Amino acid sequence: MQHSIKSSSSTCSLKFEKQAWDKGFSWIAGIDEVGRGALFGPVCAAAVVLNPNNIPYGIKDSKKLTAQKRLNLSKEIRSAAHDWAVAFIDSSTIDQINILEATRKAMYLAINKLKIKPDYLLCDAMELESIKIPQKSIVKGDIQSISIAAASIIAKVERDHLVINLDIEFPGYDLKNNMGYGTKKHLESLRKLGPTDLHRHSFRGV
């Protein structure tokens, strides 16, 4: 597949994507997760197959973007990409199989939900041995790969939206501000109120 790549306006690099295209791969999916270190709620993974001829401006690690910028970019990425998908693994499953395996499971599910079957994967610091697709694990991939950064943005927006809605159902834990992570206020609330059914009971602090 020939690409007229428009990457000059994007913050993250296309280095790894270009390497894969040069090897003859056509459909490259970036994979990332959000919520791995949280005390409450699911872990979320996203898979994104970017359109190299239509990459939104300003894609970079979701943690370096404001909430509004993430939201705007998430909409742009979903509209411009060839394909995208998200998957959640709930807190009870995390407690049963551990967070590492739950993260892998979320990534597997997100990849399998793609309508376009990718022929190459770029994963953020994870190896997905159960999926027989050529892949590259990149440490701090959301900083180094634009496809992984795009996945990090979508996963962050989707998970934040879910947790903010759950704040209404489980008031008192400041979830809309901490997104389930172990902030001082969240830990104080856990000591006073105890954990909910959606907290990760196997995690220290819960």
pLDDT (average), residues 178-184: 97
Please report whether residue 32 resides in a domain. Answer: yes
Please give the Cα distance from 123 to 110 (Å, whole number): 12
* Local confidence band at 13 (pLDDT 50, 70, 90 cut-offs): confident
Please report whether residue 49 resides in a domain. Answer: yes
- The helix/strand/coil state of 52 is coil
CB-count burial class (<10 Å; 0-12, 13-18, 19+) for 57: exposed
Please report whether residue 126 resides in a domain. Answer: yes
How many domains does the chain contain in total? 1
Please report whether residue 27 resides in a domain. Answer: yes
Q: What is the per-residue pLDDT across 115-140, written as a single tens digit (0 to 9) for each?
A: 999 999 999 999 998 999 999 999 99
What CATH number corresponds to the domain at position 111?
Answer: 3.30.420.10
**Which one-letter amino acid corresponds to residue 80?**
A
Write down the pLDDT at residue 185.
Answer: 96
Three-state SS annotation for 59-123: CCCHHHCCHHHHHHHHHHHHHHCCEEEEEEECHHHHHHHCHHHHHHHHHHHHHHHCCCCCCEEEE
Domain holding 38, by residue range, is 15-160
Write down the pLDDT at residue 40.
Answer: 98
pLDDT (average), residues 81-110: 98
Please report whether residue 201 resides in a domain. Answer: no
Residue 25, CA atoms < 13 Å, CB-side half-sphere = 22
Provide the mean pLDDT of the chain.
93
Please report whether residue 6 resides in a domain. Answer: no
pLDDT of 179 over the 90 cut: yes
Please report whether residue 196 resides in a domain. Answer: no
Q: What is the per-residue pLDDT across 27-64, written as a single tens digit (0 to 9) for each?
A: 999 999 999 999 999 999 999 999 999 999 999 989 89
Q: Report CA-CA distances (Å) from 101 to 41, 45, 80.
A: 16, 12, 31
Write down the pLDDT at residue 205.
Answer: 92
Token pair of 202 as six digits = 């196997």
Write down the pLDDT at residue 50.
Answer: 97
Please report whether residue 43 resides in a domain. Answer: yes
Token pair of 105 as six digits = 């499971």
Which range among 3-17, 36-50, 52-66, 79-93 shows the weakest confidence by mean pLDDT? 3-17
* Local confidence band at 11 (pLDDT 50, 70, 90 cut-offs): low
Token pair of 106 as six digits = 């979320």
* Local confidence band at 22 (pLDDT 50, 70, 90 cut-offs): very high
